[in-house]
Chains A and B, each alone.
Chain A
């Protein structure tokens, strides 16, 4: 067993050495929605520091990563929260950092660094190294910023570096606080998916809000006793002989954890009001269907069909759908989201939208988590995988509690999440919209789509034709 892993390890090393130019060439396409050079000055005075747990975690504390965690290692989540000046009046960077030293006592795992075992399997050494804290200044007001309408600009508010090439000196989490001219701030979080899914990341940052409001305080230090796996481990690893549909192997990336793309990816987003959503539901499903199928399924069905039309001849027959695990334990960081593969054995382009929407309902599709876990464990986590973008991926983050991060009792004015490292097939995120007043029923949804840039314009036209995208575009 060890001999084969040694051989595979050296094979990967050789590959990494012989194809450096290919890796670096494709690595240039990893910046989805790259920021134009003339826009980079919009955020300036960048200062870096570190914050970590105030309490000593202990020497030799280690967090083992599951197969699913390792499968997600090339993906990163980037979240941005905008707070108006009323929410942050009188709040200094020092006060924010101070609370973090108590908050991170609970999340000492995020403050550790990646190491590899002798066989090459990554794990996290909980050495209290900390997360990176970035400060920045912007001369625009928040409203002006949001009016710019360019999603790629949000990258300036989220300081992001991929993990590697020196694994033991690469933080997994970056937090950026940018001050705007109006006195408001944006809080940008770059989160390595290896630590957990978007639900975990959201809960992580929401807890900081609770510490700021003094609603939480530290309990005693609880060290991990054993790998707290949400899914049952397969009894026989060879039981799942077939490779999973929703995750695929990629060329070895070595110690620089960047997912390579063959083309440049671009992200755009649009807002769907509650009214718009209900009229869409009626149009697709008629009167009765609305009860059985969620807005998420309907919207995704429309987008699936539009993309199929754009990619005619190469329409996506298999898509991946990710959503929250129902028994999600919000005290633990984990990659527990349900990853299901959905196959359409009919032509998507011409299909009835209702049929597509039914296919994407909650109870459909094969839960592939065990398969992915088994595939990764087969060679002890040495192979590199990607999940988002292996097929066209739809991620339902409706119940990710994005608007539960509160400062001084105020919710964020706007919250935006995107995924860094999406594969060539693209990804669609379904996020909750900004709250309008106190009634959460009126919030609407935000949809972000990441696709190869040559497909974006055609898709926008298609979406406008179906009525999903408003015709008065920015």
Chain B
């Protein structure tokens, strides 16, 4: 819009103009039908009922009728065959860590001080991060990290993986009534811990899955690996009819607790916490009735071609030889770029016609008339009812809230998940979905947008549509504490 108009945007009149415009453009086809139908009706009325003798006026031939029928059937068959299978999300289960894994701020700081006794300034730094992190006092770390110094061995990492993954899967089996023998596709994603045999093999061994199960283990793909797994499951379910796919998203913290002093690497210690989720996807027709959601779109954007984006989340050794994940200072800027790229792709798929038209007009205007026009940010609130932004950190949520012009209620699920569970990496999106369900806000027909960022640098989105209204109270990780939320999270927590 030309710079003069923003003064008007606060006025009520413009709001009604906008509403009218949206209604007009979004329902343009229907609106065009009305005059056509009116015309036909008038014509019919004019001709009078006696002159209408449809059956006589159309001279029908048996051959013609048959051909038309076959033709219609043929078109219908081609249409139904080429339609992609609907992917239903039957249900999912999030891992709820026990209170024995709880890490209050004070304990985290004290352990840091004792583990990093040689460098008190690093401890100061961690305290400042923790104060502003948006985490609460109930986030959890695995048992091995509770030791001073942490006992980081292959065995303890496997113990954590077993606790998290098996617990989530047991929960999923209970909720859905799925039998392990019925799993056709198994995808496990865990970025930083990749033993041999893989975690998916561990699951197959524990639950005695069939020998022809298609198992995949994705590692190294960062916090957005959850949506990559969903994408992979979707592609596989297109090829294999009548199948069940189980996706397990988790992040194993035990081997990756950074023991050095480099500030860029200490950040992840402060934010990453224990968590996991198991999701059941299916393309069975029969699941249509009990599935919670069905998958509409998955959009993946990868900025790895750019060197800066590639190096922005990088696992490497520090000066003392200790391995940690270094987060670069321009992380937010790169995330913003990746998001823009992703939005540009997903916009045309989900936005209503009115927003797309506006975006197109401003784009044309900027190219042709005046490059100084502000780019129009489409209003995604019209495309989605709920937003699940990966709880990567307070800064990520703040940035996205600003860029997409979301209200506090839209980002509430993300903020509260960050507060209660911390950054659980790829599974955080599922904790957020669970929050929205627990609050009773999920109604049939609601569209949900899950956005995740990850190392590489990737920005992945998934769009779900709610299949049936979810009734409260829900059983899930929020069952015992949902009444306490939402909580006000202060800018700086006094430690």
A166: Cβ under 8 A from any B Cβ: yes
Closest to A55 in B: B99
Q: Which of B102-110, B176-184, B344-352 contacts A (4 or more CB under 8 A)?
A: B102-110
CB contacts (< 8 Å) of B138 on chain A: these are 56
Stretch at the interface among A78-86, A124-132, A239-247, A290-298: A124-132
Report Cα–Cα, A101/B493, bound state, in Å. Answer: 24
Query: Which chain A residues in 75-107 approach chain B with CB under 8 Å?
Result: 94, 97-98, 101
| Set A52, A97, A98: member contacting B107, Cβ < 8 A | A52
**Does B333 lie at the interface of the complex (its beta carbon under 8 Å from any beta carbon of A)?**
no
* Chain A nearest Cβ from B448, distance in angstroms: 30
Residues of B with C-beta under 8 A to A166: 113
Which B96-129 residues have a C-beta within 8 angstroms of A? Answer: 98-100, 102, 104-107, 109-111, 113-114
Does B137 contact A128, Cβ atoms closer than 8 Å?
yes
B148 at the interface (CB under 8 A from A): yes
How many contacting A-B pairs (Cβ < 8 A)? 58
A97→B147 CA distance, assembly (Å): 13
Residue B46 lies at the interface, judged by CB distance under 8 Å to chain A: no
* Nearest Cβ on chain B to A102's Cβ, whole angstroms: 8
Known: A50-B146, A60-B494. 9 other contacts (CB 8 A): A48-B114, A49-B146, A56-B137, A98-B100, A101-B100, A127-B105, A127-B495, A128-B107, A130-B104
A-B contact pairs, 28 of them (CB 8 A): A48-B114, A48-B147, A48-B148, A49-B146, A49-B147, A50-B107, A50-B110, A50-B111, A50-B148, A51-B100, A52-B102, A54-B99, A56-B136, A60-B494, A97-B100, A98-B98, A98-B100, A101-B99, A101-B102, A113-B110, A128-B106, A129-B106, A129-B107, A130-B107, A166-B113, A169-B110, A169-B113, A169-B114
Closest CB of chain B to A85's CB: distance in Å?
A: 25
Task: Point out the residues of chain A lying under 8 angstroms from B147, CB to CB.
Answer: 47-49
Q: Which 5 A-B pairs have the closest CB atoms?
A: A54-B99, A129-B106, A127-B106, A128-B104, A48-B148
Instruction: List B471-495 residues whose CB lies under 8 Å from chain A.
Output: 493-495
Expressed in whole angstroms, the Cα–Cα distance for A101 and B495 within the complex equals 22
Q: Measured between alpha carbons, how far is A166 from B109 in the docked complex, in Å? A: 12
Q: Which residues of A contact B98 (CB under 8 A)?
A: 98
Q: How many residues of A contact B (CB 8 A)?
A: 22
Known A59-B494, A128-B137, A169-B110; contact A54-B100, beta-carbon cutoff 8 A: yes
B102 touches A129 (CB 8 A): no
User: What separation, in Å, do the CA atoms of A140 and B79 have in the docked complex?
Assistant: 80
Nearest-neighbor residue (CB-CB) of B108 within chain A: A129
| Complex-state Cα separation, A101 to B101, whole angstroms | 10
Residue of A nearest to B102 (CB): A54
A166 to chain B, nearest CB (A): 7
| B contact residues around A47 at 8 Å (CB) | 147, 151
B residues neighboring A (CB under 8 Å) = 98-100, 102, 104-107, 109-111, 113-114, 136-138, 143, 146-148, 151, 493-495
Q: Are A59 and B99 in contact (CB under 8 A)?
A: no
Interface hits, A107-130 → B, CB 8 Å: 113, 127-130
Task: Point out which of B102, B111, B147, B493 has the most chain A C-beta atoms below 10 A from its C-beta.
Answer: B102
Judge whether A129 and B110 touch: CB under 8 Å. Answer: yes
The closest CB in chain A to the CB of B138 belongs to: A56
Q: Is the CB of A129 within 8 A of B493?
A: no
- Nearest chain-A residue to B493 (Cβ)? A59
Neighbouring B residues of A113 by C-beta, 8 Å: 106, 110
Q: Closest A-chain residue to B484, C-beta based?
A: A56
Q: Give Cα A129 to B151, complex, Å.
A: 20
Measured CA separation A215–B173 after assembly (Å)? 34
Chain A, Cβ-Cβ closest to B112: A169
**In the complex, which of the residues B102, B104, B143 contacts A127, with contact meaning CB atoms closer than 8 Å?**
B104
**Nearest CB to that of B98 among chain A residues?**
A98
A49–B148 CB distance below 8 A:
yes
Complex Cα distance, B100 from A113, in Å, reads 20
**B494 partner residues in chain A, CB cutoff 8 A:** 59-60
Inter-chain CA distance A59–B495, complex, in Å, is 9
Instruction: Give Cα distance in the complex from A169 to B126, angstroms.
Output: 15
On chain A, the residues within 8 Å of B136 by CB distance are 56
Measured CA separation A128–B137 after assembly (Å): 9
Q: A38-64, CB under 8 A of B: which get 1 and which 0?
A: 000000000111111011100110000
With a cutoff of 8 Å between Cβ atoms, the chain B residues found around residue A50 in the complex are 107, 110-111, 146, 148
| B104 in complex: contacting residue of A52, A60, A98, CB < 8 Å | A52
Chain B residues lying within 8 Å of A128, measured Cβ to Cβ, are 104, 106-107, 137
Instruction: Kindly state the separation between the CA atoms of A54 and B100 in the bound complex, as whole angstroms.
Output: 7
CB of A272 to closest CB in B, whole Å: 41
A326-374 interface with B by 8 A CB criterion: none
| Interface contact A129-B104, CB-CB below 8 Å | yes
Q: Roughly how many angstroms separate A166 CA and B127 CA in the complex, as a whole number?
A: 15
On chain B, the residues within 8 Å of A49 by CB distance are: 146-148
CB distance from A88 to the nearest CB of B (A): 19
Please measure, in the bound complex, the distance between the C-alpha atom of A97 and the C-alpha atom of B101, giving whole angstroms. 10
Most buried by A among B107, B136, B147: B107
Could you tell me the distance between the alpha carbons of A56 and B110 in the complex, rounded to whole angstroms? 17
In the bound complex, what is the Cα–Cα distance between A59 and B105 (angstroms)? 11
- Write out the residue numbers on chain B whose beta carbons fall within 8 Å of the beta carbon of A129: 104, 106-107, 110
